[in-house]
A and B are shown apart, each in its own frame.
Chain A
Amino acid sequence: MDELRLLQELNVRKLQMQTRRHFLQKCSTGLGALALGSFIGCSDSGKPLQGINPLSTKLPPAFAKAKRVIYLHMAGAPSQLELFDYKPELAKLDGQECPGSLLEGRRFAFIQGVPKMLGPQYSFKPYGQSGTYVSELLPHFSKNVDDACVIKSMFTHEFNHAPAQLFMHTGHGRLGRPSMGSWITYGLGTENQDLPGFIVLVSGGKTPDAGKSVWGSGFLPSVYQGVQCRSEGEPVLYLNDPKGMDRNLKGKLIEAINTINEEALDTYGDPETLTRIEQYELAFRMQVSVPEAMDITKEPASMHALYGTSPGESTFANNALLARRLAERGVRFIQLFHWGWDAHGAGREEALNMGFKDRCKEVDQSMSALLTDLKQRGMLDETLVVWGGEFGRTPMRENRDGKVMTWIGRDHHTECFSIWAAGGGIKGGIAYGETDELGYYGIKDKVHINDLHATLLHCMGIDHEKLTHSFQGRPFRLTDTGGKIIPGILA
């Protein structure tokens, strides 16, 4: 059926092509919107319908609150006990041996034998009308707490970085599944066809532990994978014209290619040829639209002051400002990674009293600026912003190889960690979930990663049980076989 309808459309498009003028004047909405029609309309045979732009906008249902996501991932997993989960009781136990009941049958990455408890290293105060507790390390963010929902009762099953990052972004702790951004662009397409629909920005000098797999498309078509945009070198790989290729000539070149490809279309009637013609036009436009979007020097001084940016470098602050620019331009999923949060205490950069403080400084002002900026532009209501790591940190001080370490740090912890979410569909000014007095276990309103995903998809207007794709004989989804929407955090 789909194929017959496609052929009819193909004929219409052929006619249009015969009469159209210069392609650069033409706006390309593609024929996708027409053919895909229904929401989440990709054929579940795995192949995007032929000759159709798989990224064309698909209309979300009325209950969608958010149009796009900005996800700020702090790779390495920041300590909740130094930022959001205030534990005065833990301070009293500082230096005492960890009770055996907390160690029995547990698996830790590095802790051995009996570690000592470690009290919060920074002071906390309640902020805003909500009175949400925030540490002294986030002075800017403390002014924005009434916009955000801090979830203190997140938990995961993976206690190593790469699997935990995969779990956080693909809903599964092993390689091979599509990432959240891929699922969402697969479900909703994107609003601006001149930019990729799923853009990734990386700072901190390294890609996340799980590499590019955390923005991979897994078994979904590769058109849905995240496109890394870079502050240094070409903003998108192979975007720049080769040396000596003039921009006007490039236009003529693409025109000639498409003229010849139209002849092939006449001979073979292959819908792929038609798509290819459109993709060459789009590539030509992207060569202008991507550098334009990525150029933050055009922003006024007030914006640079707000975010604390330094143009030309790949800093988190620059990426936060870029995230807003991309959101404005209709990019569906904007994923930031900032590396360097793995505060074991095995070295200066990894110490809670050293490198960790620097990381907080690097992100505090700009993540708060992002919320302020989106709000003043009236975009926060339709933009879902999420901040967090891949797991938590132990209330015990790390004792690698059973020894006292020079620097102060905490090991990986799966039982509880804190994240925050704000904007599109999320209730601001609340803290959700509770942990015990030591900050070891979640004790109230525990949130599984599948639940978080189900809720984020819900805010985007997607039923997480219906966004599926068949692979190796069964329908897969971001939330795997679980996931419950968390009504308590919805606006």
Chain B
Amino acid sequence: MKWYCPSFLLCAFLSCTATDKTYQNLPDLVSYNEHIRPIINNRCISCHGGVRKKAGLSFLFPEDPFTALEDGKPAIIRGQADSSKIMQRILHHDPEERMPQKAEALSGYEIALIKKWVDQGANWETHWAFLPVNNPTIPSSPSSPHPIDRFIRAELNLRSLQANPQAEKSDLIRRLYLDLVGLPPSLETVDSFENDLIHYEQLVDRVLAAPGYGEKWTGMWLDLARYADTRGYEKDAHRDMWKYRDWVIRAFNQDMPFDQFTIKQLAGDLIDNPSTADLIATAFHRNTMNNDEGGTDNEEFRVAAVIDRVNTSYEVWQGLTMGCVQCHSHPYDPIKHEEYYQSFAILNNTADADRDDQAPTLIVYQPLDESRADSIIQFISGLNPGKNKSRIKQLESDLNELPSASLPILTELPAKQKRVTRVFERGNFMLPGEVVRPTLPAILNNQIKPDSVSRLAFAQWLVSPSNPLTARVTVNRFWAQLFDKGLVATLEDFGSQGNRPSHPALLDHLSWKFSNDFQWSVKSLIKYIVTSETYRQSSNASDVQLKKDPSNSWLSRAPRSRLSAEAIRDQALAVSGLLSDKMYGPSVMPYQPDGIWKTVYSNLQWVTDKGEDGHRRALYTYIRRTSPYPSFITFDSPSREYCVSRRITTNTPLQALVTLNDPVYVEAARHLATFMENEPGTLEVKISRGYKRALIRDIAPKTLQTLTELYHEAARQPASEFSPLMVIANALFNLDQFITKS
């Protein structure tokens, strides 16, 4: 390989291109993170990263490019661009030698940036997300009382954009309710808000205190927890997981601080004197799949479960794609292959082992029986076993008669039975390599240096002040639920291949407040966000806004987003008056078409629940992984096979068929029709009331005219069980504005 490069060539190149005026815009100080890293990530790292290290060169770790390569020389000599190989190779006259190889050359501007950066000393910077969160200064102007608005408007001003005024009250209250409880407000609440009998802040407090609040946010969390009611794979048999779901609802409703919420789920069994609730929380990581198919190797699927726990833990709390590191060092982020297995070792000593009996499990009771069971257990423990033998026997049989469930939980193996963890070559458990100790990836951990990190210490580290990612990743998730898009758009990837934050200072401001001022209180965080003017503004879009900011990255308007699968159904049941407010308990089986479950080697049956349980919130619907509830899947709910940070919203004809024809929506239309029927007044009044009930806003004259004509069209048909007002209700459930949040 030829390595010489006549420097006159370099000079010639730069002198003839430096006159190009784009280079007058070179920054005074070239920043690695802002200017250089994007070039390296897009153009260099796939050959010079964690997987491939061509010519021995990698750009992953700060020492890499400055150490001697295979030919004895480093790629970069600080302060000496002209003598650095990196410059020689990207400027090489021979296309075979020129970097990036077999790809388009770097632009003149990119080359000039790299040259200036090397000449200025080639200062390396840690990726932004791995730097500690600090408390940034709030922009002083523009003058807005709410810090969030100041951060947002500072960016709008830079782009000559104006924030929208506040949304119509009816739209705002609908948005707030759908966002915070996943249901529309009642007409009475709307009236009192529209007539100023209740202020916005009071409304926010009321919504945060509603039981439905916990149900809504649990929906988000269960996607991350890959919660389902079955085990996956062939038999996909039943598993009692609902008690964990109920724990999450209670945790959100009680505003359990997020640090506690984290520790209990990852290591509730290891804290001092864990309560029953703490043990229930550990079912988070028992949502991994089991393979009960005849003739499977239990160790193979136990290992698969632990791998899933590692990947899920890092995605949920760190926004890191650890899955990449299973087979080799991370191609883009500075995490080494063995570091994956050091984390694996932390989670590799729980007692579960892909057994058919799901052991270890915890006996749990249905909500109504819980206190009775507790009191019996307490009473028994107070009795003297010698003296009260028959009494105890009687009480125990009483206890056994209470319907109970076996919740899979985490417990740690005793010291003698601890498993040894080895690196798996290429991620294959049949190819074990070097033994590794349980510890944390170096890039994330500069504080704790124990040689053996327990599962509890791991959980505590995630929520410790030294962890740069947990608060950022978490506030970003909540922000994304409220604004349709995260400040970091890639909720699941805060690594160098993820998107950079649109508002880095705002992200840090929120992260700082969340973990310090708010003491990890999720309700405080949400209240802080929804009381901003940015949240409250209208979503109408002017031509200027569409042109300057088509994807609404700068939030000069409130976003529009389609409701989730769950919210679409809950909303239809709510506005028709069918929705049950019953909380907790085993998952339910509302109407689903016949013949959906025809699974091999399984007797599991879908038995449609009658009465109240047929109309529970979607959150309580039984989820079978290999055959999920069909209308939810149609509206993009995941099958809960793995952790999902971000649902992808699609827009398909099959969705139209659901809201038009699914008996669930037909039944809801019948009840909303009855509501309209019972409203006193003319046909126009009835339709207007139905519209208001469903969409919360007042009907526009044109819409009223369209619907009235539709009514008359329907009335001309021979009488059928689909009454004309049902046709109107059916139409309302299919309006863009009904299934979209504005």
Binding site for B on A (CB under 8 A): 3-4, 6-7, 46-48, 54, 107-110, 159-163, 174-176, 196, 202, 205-213, 216, 220-223, 225, 227, 230, 232-234, 236-246, 248-250, 252-254, 256-257, 259-261, 263-265, 267-270, 272-273, 275-276, 279-280, 282-283, 286-287, 339, 412, 472-474
Q: Are B291 and A339 interface neighbours, CB within 8 A? A: no
B656 CB-CB contact with A under 8 Å: yes
Contact partner of B315 (CB less than 8 A), chosen from A174, A472, A474, is A472
Known: A109-B295, A162-B233, A209-B234. A286 touches B653 (CB 8 A): yes
Known: A234-B593, A270-B560, A472-B324. A211 touches B625 (CB 8 A): yes
Complex CA gap A162/B641 in Å reads 14
Residues from chain B with a CB closer than 8 A to the CB of A272 are: 560, 562, 651, 736, 740
B136 CB-CB contact with A under 8 Å: no
Residues from chain A with a CB closer than 8 A to the CB of B646 are: 46
Binding site for A on B (CB under 8 A): 232-234, 236, 289, 291, 293-297, 304, 311, 315, 321, 323-324, 331-332, 492-493, 495, 497-498, 539-541, 543, 546-547, 550-551, 560, 562, 593-595, 598-601, 625-628, 630-631, 633-634, 636, 639, 641-642, 646, 648-658, 660-663, 666, 700, 702-703, 706-707, 709-710, 713-714, 717, 720-722, 727, 730-731, 734-737, 740, 742
Q: Are A269 and B541 interface neighbours, CB within 8 A? A: yes
Q: Are B657 and A246 interface neighbours, CB within 8 A? A: no
Contact partner of B654 (CB less than 8 A), chosen from A108, A227, A253, A269, is A227
Q: Are A233 and B594 interface neighbours, CB within 8 A? A: yes
Residues from chain A with a CB closer than 8 A to the CB of B331 are: 474
Q: Taking CB as reference atom, which chain A residue is nearest B311?
A: A472
Q: Are A249 and B713 interface neighbours, CB within 8 A? A: yes
Q: Are A241 and B710 interface neighbours, CB within 8 A? A: no
Contact partner of B657 (CB less than 8 A), chosen from A220, A275, A286, is A286
Besides A109-B294, A207-B626, A267-B540, 17 new A-B residue pairs in contact (Cβ under 8 A), listed by A number: A3-B551, A46-B646, A47-B648, A162-B233, A212-B628, A212-B639, A223-B651, A236-B657, A242-B663, A245-B722, A253-B731, A260-B703, A260-B731, A272-B740, A275-B651, A279-B651, A472-B492
Smallest distance from the beta carbon of B336 to chain A beta carbons, Å? 16
Contact partner of B736 (CB less than 8 A), chosen from A159, A269, A276, is A276
Complex CA gap A245/B719 in Å reads 10
Known: A233-B594, A257-B731. A7 touches B234 (CB 8 A): no
Q: Are B293 and A161 interface neighbours, CB within 8 A? A: yes
Q: Taking CB as reference atom, which chain A residue is nearest B307?
A: A174
Residues from chain A with a CB closer than 8 A to the CB of B539 are: 268
Q: Are A260 and B653 interface neighbours, CB within 8 A? A: no
| 9 smallest beta-carbon distances between A and B, as pairs | A211-B626, A109-B295, A473-B321, A244-B720, A244-B722, A283-B656, A3-B550, A283-B653, A175-B641
Q: Are B650 and A283 interface neighbours, CB within 8 A? A: no
Q: Taking CB as reference atom, which chain B residue is nearest A76?
A: B600
Known: A206-B598, A221-B650. A472 touches B493 (CB 8 A): yes
Q: Are B497 and A210 interface neighbours, CB within 8 A? A: no
Q: Are A253 and B730 interface neighbours, CB within 8 A? A: yes
Q: Are A176 and B650 interface neighbours, CB within 8 A? A: no
Q: Are A163 and B291 interface neighbours, CB within 8 A? A: yes
Q: Are A54 and B650 interface neighbours, CB within 8 A? A: yes
Smallest distance from the beta carbon of B223 to chain A beta carbons, Å? 13
Residues from chain B with a CB closer than 8 A to the CB of A205 are: 598
Known: A110-B294, A176-B642, A236-B657. A7 touches B547 (CB 8 A): yes
Q: Taking CB as reference atom, which chain B residue is nearest A230?
A: B595
Smallest distance from the beta carbon of B59 to chain A beta carbons, Å? 17
Residues from chain A with a CB closer than 8 A to the CB of B721 are: 243-244
Residues from chain A with a CB closer than 8 A to the CB of B700 are: 263
A-B contact pairs, 30 of them (CB 8 A): A48-B650, A174-B304, A175-B289, A176-B642, A211-B626, A212-B628, A213-B639, A213-B641, A223-B650, A233-B595, A238-B593, A238-B631, A239-B657, A241-B661, A242-B663, A246-B717, A249-B727, A253-B730, A263-B702, A264-B735, A264-B737, A268-B540, A268-B560, A272-B740, A276-B651, A283-B653, A283-B660, A412-B295, A472-B315, A474-B331
Residues from chain B with a CB closer than 8 A to the CB of A267 are: 540
Residues from chain B with a CB closer than 8 A to the CB of A276 are: 651, 656, 736
Q: Are A206 and B627 interface neighbours, CB within 8 A? A: no
Contact partner of A212 (CB less than 8 A), chosen from B495, B627, B661, is B627
